[in-house]
A and B are shown apart, each in its own frame.
Chain A
Amino acid sequence: MVTTLGVHDVTYRYGVRTALDGVSFDLDSGRFCALLGPNGAGKSTLFSLMTRLLVTDQGAISIAGFDLEREPRAALARMGVVFQQQTLDLDMTVTQNLRYFAALQGLSGKRAQKSIDAALDRLEMRERSGEKARALNGGHRRRMEIARALIHDPTVLLLDEPTVGLDTGSRQAITAHVHDLADTGLLVFWATHLVDEIRDTDDVVVLHQGKVLAHDRARNIAAGKPLVDAFIAMTSGQSEQ
């Protein structure tokens, strides 16, 4: 069986500083996996490598069986991405933003329109489709970015700290929405440093100082304690070494 997202022995350096050191894990479809790590753990670097904004010094990343280095187009076509920074064009309407992204994925005509309609329904924003993105609040913009990332029907959805800067209500709504997406068979890979966004049944990869400290179900990592305590114990113990 093909691994949906495979990261094998990935190492990356900024000059002499090692940002990622032999990072490895495999993830399957239909799962919500949190990439949990404190600030500076290497989450954004790993995210940039997965989206091919950077290329690995060593190791390999595969998406739906396609090696990101050897078959980047096939791999990227199976990936939906939501960046930490908002990437909507605020001067374009909701529909224009969705159509622009569909075109970057090579979708046009009826196929694009069908995907855009489905995205608008998912957002429950059909009546606001003609409004400029600037008119939307932070939570709606984020939801729109998530819907946009799904327009080309990807196998993997990558999200880099998507709830940063949102109020509690919006955070909870988005977290619940993305968990629902995982239930439909999508692999959701969610980078975060906020433990409360993770459920007991989620997979968790704990990243700290560029290394994977743990990869297991959240409840197993927590081992009967609150996950936040287990996470702090794990990362503070490593920092002291």
Chain B
Amino acid sequence: MTAYFVALRAIVFREAMRFINQRSRFLAALVRPLVWLVVFAAGFRAALGLSIIPPYQTYITYEVYIVPGLCGMIQLFNGMQSSLSLVYDREMGSMRLLLTSPLPRWWLLFCKLLAGVTVSILQVYVFLAIAAGFGIVMPTIGYVYLFPALVLSGLMLGALGLFISSTIRQLENFAGVMNFVIFPMFFMSTALYPLWKMAESSPLLRTICAFNPFTHAVELIRFSLYAQFNGWALLWVIVAFAVFMAGSLIGYDPARGMVRKVRA
């Protein structure tokens, strides 16, 4: 068992080193949600009235509403960034080094996933600290409850990135992922507007949003920030994680997955 944790520690350390060496990546990950919070939310504050819906017990400003969605956004983009670096590693060869380790492949992929989640959680807490500087403060206990929610949502979104990386043959194809995965997932969720608001304009869109796993990741984060438990969101996130992880394991299985189709 020790060998498993030795490998886990090494992979997390390597990801952390990458993160430290790529400070621009850290800044970019923070600038994106901060622009949404400071610019976008300020513009929409007047246009978008929000009624009292759980977990909120009073009227809230739009900035407060979108904070959980922006936490999810950080993790979504981080999952895709990890996916991109996996494709890069595969093309450059360092992924081969990982996959020829004598440890089970599922464990190696899980370590890679966990390393990415660790980085994304750090980013989220830094973002929340900056948001607090703008006066958007959550209940103190919410920051504690948030941690397990971020682990789960990070694992789910990271597993999605892992699955996508197993299906992409070339780095150049990654732009398509932005257009067909990240943007639809983000905009067709409760990150920017609640489901009831969407139902007012399009019941179909509301239904699509309700089936979007990212919606449930955002709701899990939202409820945990207010020290509340959303069982339905938790179930969705766990099921989606299991599905994406299974897809990733098949994708990286040399006997069955997409890697088999890529000429060595």
Contact = CB atoms under 8 A, between A and B. Distances in A.
Do A and B bind?
yes
Contact of B10 (A53, A88, A91, A99): A99
Interface residues of A, number: 36
A91 B92 contact: no
A92 B219 CA distance: 38
A83 B96 CA distance: 8
A51 B10 contact: no
Contacts of B175: none
B14 interface: yes
Given A44-B264, A89-B14, A100-B10, A106 B255 contact: no
Given A55-B254, A107-B6, A73 B102 contact: yes
Contacts of B10: 99-100, 103-104
Nearest to B22: A91
Contacts of A55: 254-255, 260
Given A100-B14, A103-B6, A106-B2, A85 B92 contact: yes
Given A14-B263, A85-B92, A92-B14, A101 B97 contact: yes
A45 B103 CA distance: 22
Interface residues on B, range: 20 to 34
A54 interface: yes
A73 B3 CA distance: 12
Contact of A76 (B7, B11, B21, B101): B101
B27 to A, nearest CB: 17
A76 B254 contact: no
Contacts of A77: 102
A86 interface: yes
Interface of A: 14, 44-45, 47-48, 51-55, 72-74, 76-77, 79, 81, 83-89, 91-92, 96, 99-101, 103-108
Contacts of B104: 73
A106 B3 contact: yes
Contact of B254 (A52, A91, A99): A52
B177 interface: no
A89 B94 CA distance: 8
Given A83-B93, A106-B7, A54 B254 contact: yes
Interface of B: 2-4, 6-7, 9-11, 13-14, 17-18, 21, 92-94, 96-104, 108, 254-255, 259-260, 263-264
Nearest to A48: B264
B99 A53 contact: yes
Contacts, number: 89
Nearest to A109: B6
Given A53-B96, A53-B264, A103 B254 contact: no
A89 B96 CA distance: 13
22 contacts: A14-B263, A47-B264, A51-B100, A53-B96, A53-B99, A53-B100, A73-B104, A76-B100, A76-B101, A81-B96, A84-B93, A87-B94, A87-B96, A87-B97, A89-B14, A89-B94, A91-B21, A100-B10, A104-B98, A105-B101, A106-B2, A108-B2
A104 B264 contact: no
A47 B94 CA distance: 16
A74 B6 CA distance: 18
A61 to B, nearest CB: 13
Contacts of A79: 100
A87 B102 contact: no
Contact of B102 (A44, A85, A92, A105): A105
Contact of B7 (A53, A96, A104): A104
A77 B99 CA distance: 12
Contacts of B17: 89, 91-92, 96
Nearest to B93: A85
A109 B264 CA distance: 35
Contacts of A47: 264
Contact of B103 (A14, A88, A106): A106
A86 B89 CA distance: 11
Contacts of A99: 10
Contact of A106 (B6, B11, B96, B259): B6
B101 A104 contact: yes
Contacts of A96: 17
Nearest to A132: B21
A106 B96 CA distance: 17
